[in-house]
Amino acid sequence: MSLLLLLLFFFFLMLIGLPLYLSLLSVAFAGIAVLGDASLLRVVSQQLFGGMDSFTLMAIPFFVLAGSLMNRSGLTDKLIDFSKLLVGSIRGGLGYVNIVAGIILAGVNGSAAADASALSSILIPAMKKEGYNEGYAAGLTAASSLIGPIIPPSIFMIIYASMTNTSIGGLFAAGIVPGLSLGLAYAVMNYFYSFRYGAPVSSGEERSQAKSILTQSIFGLLAPIIIIGGIVTGIVTPTESGALAAAYCLFIGLFHTKRLDKRGIFEALYETVRTTSSIFLIMGAAQAVGWLLKWEKIPQHFAGLLAEAGLTSSPIMLMLTFSAIIFVVGCFMEEVATLTLLTPIFYPLAMQAGIDPLHFGIVMTLNVTIALVTPPMGACNYIVSAVGKVPLSEELKFIWPFIAVSIVVLVLIILFPIITIYIPKALGL
């Protein structure tokens, strides 16, 4: 009963507009008040700072900074031009460009929000100009941004790794095929939309500028290679890889594209500080709540309930159950908080069931990523709507088919673990 009251208290605080990290901390303090042990108050501050004090998490600001510098240095535009050169000249070409650009950008910053903003500002106006339905253009853009946290690097994977002591390199390698599978699923959706609604065929003018586009885009394509290649091969740590990528994007923006100035660098740093501060505060507050849940033995009680229902004997049923819970929770809670609160509860049960930690990490990551577009909380929907200047109601009409396709990919990943663990095992990760 006390847990139910704390949950109701948390959602009440969210509804009245209290920042998420303060809502979580308030729940921690309220829980201690219910326990009636004032000596536990000092533990909240310890858990708050302990949740942020992790070497693994140092990679996050560097990846955010690299993505921000890439956008401001003009490299993002070059990568989208490269995507147009690849797939822009076929029916529904700009839809495929949207997906391919999402895949390429995913290899830089690991943030769906950053990808949603970059893709929306460039591709939604272009798609509307060519005659695409604006709701479909926005829905596809929001879906394409979901590839960002799956294909490495991934902020969600870094958070999961820091909480479970799982190899970041292994998680990054495990996310490659699932991320490409998600892109392929969206491409199939775009194919059927293009022929059903007569999507336009691009003029293919990019082909006449192929040499110039290839020359200019090569510098942008090197960024994902630096990040993914360095980590997977073990040459650098994830933090070092992010720092190298940020330095590379800074150098290219200053001396090659020459579109990066003092103001752009300041804005990139400011955006990085705001984003990472938000993530770290939420993680610290969620750690305090997670400690309270463990103190009250909530994971054990939850495990008992699942055992009584006969779900712990089957890894597949267990992960499907976890996915259903995350889907519901993700509709109403921010994704970092969802990941940091539920991972400590679900992870021990998954290990007891014999689930590979890399496989489980990708399932958790994809679950919370899908939550980025599930109404009413889905942050990417609001970003795409605002940046692309598309009414939210129009976008939501088209986002549900993409959510359904994403869930199909999720179920396939759950049923066939080889999708996630083949590359890490082949690389010895």
pLDDT value for 204: 59
Residues forming a β-bridge with 201: 91
pLDDT at 202: 64
The CA distances from residue 147 to 108, 152, 176, 195, in Å, are: 12, 9, 10, 24
Measured distance CA(104)–CA(274) in Å, rounded = 25
Judged by average pLDDT, the poorest of 148-162, 181-195, 301-315 is: 301-315
Contacts of 176 (CB under 8 A, 6+ apart): 151, 152, 228, 423
**If you average pLDDT over every residue of the chain, what do you get?**
84
Rounded percentage of the chain residues whose pLDDT exceeds 70: 93
Q: What is the mean pLDDT of residues 163-173?
A: 90
pLDDT at 1 over 60: no
* 409-426 tens-digit pLDDT: 999 999 999 999 999 988
| Global pTM value | 0.85
Q: How confident is the model at residue 222 (pLDDT cuts 50, 70, 90)?
A: confident
User: pLDDT digit string (tens) for 176-187?
Assistant: 999 999 999 999
Per-residue model confidence as pLDDT tens digits over 271-320? 889 888 888 888 888 888 878 877 777 766 776 777 776 676 788 999 99
Residue type for position 243: A
- The answer on pLDDT for 151 being more than 50 is yes
d(CA 337, CA 379) in angstroms, rounded, equals: 13
What is the DSSP secondary-structure string of 301-363? Answer: HHHHHHHHTT-TT-HHHHHHHHHHHHHHHHTTS-HHHHHHHHHHHHHHHHHHTT--HHHHHHH
pLDDT at 36 over 80: no
d(C-alpha 330, C-alpha 341), whole Å? 11
